[in-house]
Structure formats: C-alpha cells, structure tokens
Amino acid sequence: MDGNARYAANAPNERDFSSGRAARVQAQYPIATILSCADSRVAPEFAFDQGPGDLFVLRVAGNVVNPDLLASLEYGAQFLGVPLIMVLGHTGCGAVDAAIKVLKAKAVLPGHLPGLISAIKPAVIAAEKTKTGNLLDNAAAENVRRQVARLKRSPPIVQKLYESKKIDIVGGMYDLATGKIALV
C-alpha cells in the first residue's frame, strides 16, 4: 500500500530493471499475489510501485476465480511461499458492466463471454440493493468481496493456508482516475 501511495503521488522509486536479472533466473520471491482484472489500464506492478519479481500477477477480465487461476494461486502460496493474495478490482470495469447489461437489458454476449459474466452476476444482484454510489462500482467492489470469500474457502491448499494463518487474503479497488487502491 506504501507503493500505491507513491504511485498515486507520481513519486515512484527509481529502479534499474536490469539489476537483479541474473538472480531472478535462479528463483522468485514475490511478496504478494495479485488476482487482477485484465483491463489494460490496471497494471499491478506500476500501481503498487514494485519491481520485477516482487509480485506474482494473475489477470482475467472481471478478476474472477476459475480453476486455472486457482491452481496458479495455489502454486504461489504453496511453492513460492507468497504470504498475501489480493483480489484487485477497479472502477469502470467492463466485465462488470457487461454483467449489468446482461441482467438489466438482457444483452446477449458472443463466444465464451457468457461463462465469464455468469461468475459476476451474483455481485451485480447484491449491489443493486446498495443505496449509495453507482451500480457499476458497487458491483465491482462486491465482486471483489465475493472472490475473496471464495478464495478463503477454496480447498485444499488456499483454504488450509488461510485457516492456519500462513497467508492472508484481501480485496482492493483500484480507482482508474486517481490510481489509488482502497481495501474493501
């Protein structure tokens, strides 16, 4: 979060990105795993002002947990010893907006998009009950909370490590306009 404060203030640490490359060939020691939206405007390494090898980043539209991403999260926690998982959503999320359009306007999406959107629909339905803010950002934050909850009860590896306090799992929302990340 200190790195995000530097990023939002446009005062990132200066880095030599080639420095340490040889050491990174031997092993990786990330400090956090970030499950982020695939949106090109959200770049976790920049948003947290981290260098190469500092973050184990997984990206998918809507930052939803699926079996392949869960396997990658398990790998990071079990074999890399990453102590923190953050699910990172963002304002103005197109995947969440698509889920809203499917629910409200009965939009029909092509290809594999319906499967992705079905994972986000419950967050939209829950967010519709919120009295303040806008539906899109409320649903994106609710989606983050739901993905965090899902991870906390995802057996066998993530759930066990979380329950034994070997890892923590948190959620965050990235504000596209300010670059700030707020925990949710």
Q: Is residue 7 part of a domain?
A: yes
Q: Is residue 80 part of a domain?
A: yes
Q: Is 156 helix (H, G, I), strand (E, B) or coil?
A: coil
Q: Which of 121, 116, 119 is nearest to 102 (CA)?
A: 121
Q: Is residue 35 part of a domain?
A: yes
Given pLDDT bands bounded at 50, 70 and 90, which one contains residue 17? confident
**pLDDT digit string (tens) for 90-99?**
999 999 999 9
Q: Is residue 13 part of a domain?
A: yes
The CA-atom distances, in angstroms, between 69 and each of 5, 58, 66, 89, 91 are 28, 7, 5, 15, 22
Q: How many independent structural domains does the chain possess? A: 1
Q: What is the model's pLDDT at position 169?
A: 98
Q: Is residue 61 part of a domain?
A: yes
Least-confidence region, from 18-32, 96-110, 116-130 = 18-32
**pLDDT digit string (tens) for 152-161?**
999 999 999 9
- The C-alpha atoms of residue 113 and residue 119 are separated, in whole angstroms, by 10
* Residue numbers of the domain that contains 153: 2-95+148-183
**pLDDT digit string (tens) for 38-57?**
999 999 999 999 999 999 99
Q: Is residue 109 part of a domain?
A: no
pTM of the model: 0.94
Q: Is residue 143 part of a domain?
A: no
* Sign, CA torsion 176/178/183/184: negative
**In this structure, what CATH number is given to the domain that contains residue 34?**
3.40.1050.10
Q: Is residue 100 part of a domain?
A: no
Q: 114: cis peptide before it, omega within 30°? A: no
